[in-house]
Amino acid sequence: MMKIKPLIGALAFGAMLAAGQAQALTVYTAGPAGLIRQLADDFKKQTGVSVDVFQADTGKVMARLEAEASNPKADVVISASWDSALDLHKRGWLLAYTSPNAAKVPAEYKGPSYVAQGLSALAIAWNTKSGTPRPADWADLARPEFKGLVNMPDPAQSGTALELLSGLQSARGADAWRLFADLKRNDMAIAGANAQAMNPVLQGAKAAVFGAVDYVALENQAKGESIEVIFPASGTVIAGRPMMILKSSRQQQDAKRFIDFVLSDAGQARVAATYLIPARQDVQAKRPVIKDIKSLPVENEAQRAGRQALLERFTTLFGRK
């Protein structure tokens, strides 16, 4: 018996370690990789809870969720597309939760089972050394001076690009399609995800991005790149980046604590440091915020429901099929 007790103790200790490891929170996220690493580190220091991260673009995050539907692994999901939150909520995948720290988040950027981590606006990112005239609005990129020199992120790969496409159609109707046709005739390229659209502009091979994710361009501008971020005079989409807890999570209490932390003063300061607009409007930002940007009207449910047909029409126009 004297020899068995140490063995039992060792087994119990090993089981405790295994249980501790199993309690790590799993977060699937689209967005700045540096931001989620900092949030995960800060959260562990504050709570002792480790965070395992899968970071990719929104399309890959949502595809992974779908692939794991019969055996969900994520606890918290952070997307770059507000539509993904609305879709998962409608399908009953999300846990209803309202963080006490969400009080200062505008009503249009929170719901019964989701809340914005931060916000970004879709902008024109213009290379100031491109030799082209400074654009002030979307239509300027269809001018002859920009022929073959404009990239747009692919709405099939970028949730924010799809939001801009939909927002422009909802606000302008047929005029939006005339603009898209003009851009097609001017040889605007549909250039993959956001980074693929931005990199040639940073390198000087292209002059501008139509629908750049602004925080990426603002960060490059702050680093001294020859980039100016221009919010179009006629209006743009301000996109929320929703956080949500899966109803299937086995770590629901820690998941709620994580949402609370991201919306805390410290968490929102981390968000602001990446040049995103903080979700909480009482937190100081390093860039223009909602009140400084002319935004397009928020779409209704029917307009959002038509996005798949809209995407098909756009991809056909640009020969992406």
String of DSSP letters for 42-98: HHHHHH---EEEEE--HHHHHHHHHHTTTS---SEEE-S-HHHHHHHHHTT-B----
pTM, two decimal places: 0.86
Round to whole Å and give the CA distance between 193 and 190.
Answer: 9
Would you list the domain boundaries of the chain?
Answer: 4-118+240-287, 120-237+295-317
Which residues belong to the annotated binding site for Fe cation? 215
Round to whole Å and give the CA distance between 198 and 57.
Answer: 15
Q: What is the CATH number of domain 4-118+240-287?
A: 3.40.190.10
Which residues belong to the annotated binding site? 215
CATH architecture of structural domain 120-237+295-317: 3-Layer(aba) Sandwich (3.40)
Q: Which two tokens stand for residue 185?
A: 């005739």
- Per-residue pLDDT of the chain (321 residues), as tens digits, is 444 444 444 444 444 444 444 489 999 999 887 999 999 999 999 999 999 999 988 888 999 999 999 999 999 999 988 889 999 999 999 999 999 999 999 999 999 999 999 999 999 999 999 999 999 999 999 999 999 999 999 998 888 898 899 999 999 999 999 999 999 999 999 998 888 999 999 999 999 999 999 999 999 999 999 999 999 999 999 999 999 999 999 999 999 999 999 999 999 999 999 999 999 999 999 999 999 999 998 777 777 777 889 999 999 999 865
Q: Angle, to 10 degrees, between the axis of helix 252-262 and the axis of helix 33-47?
A: 120
3-state helix/strand/coil string of 219-281: HHHHCCCCEEEECCCCCECEEEEEEEEECCCCCHHHHHHHHHHHCCHHHHHHHHHCCCEECCC
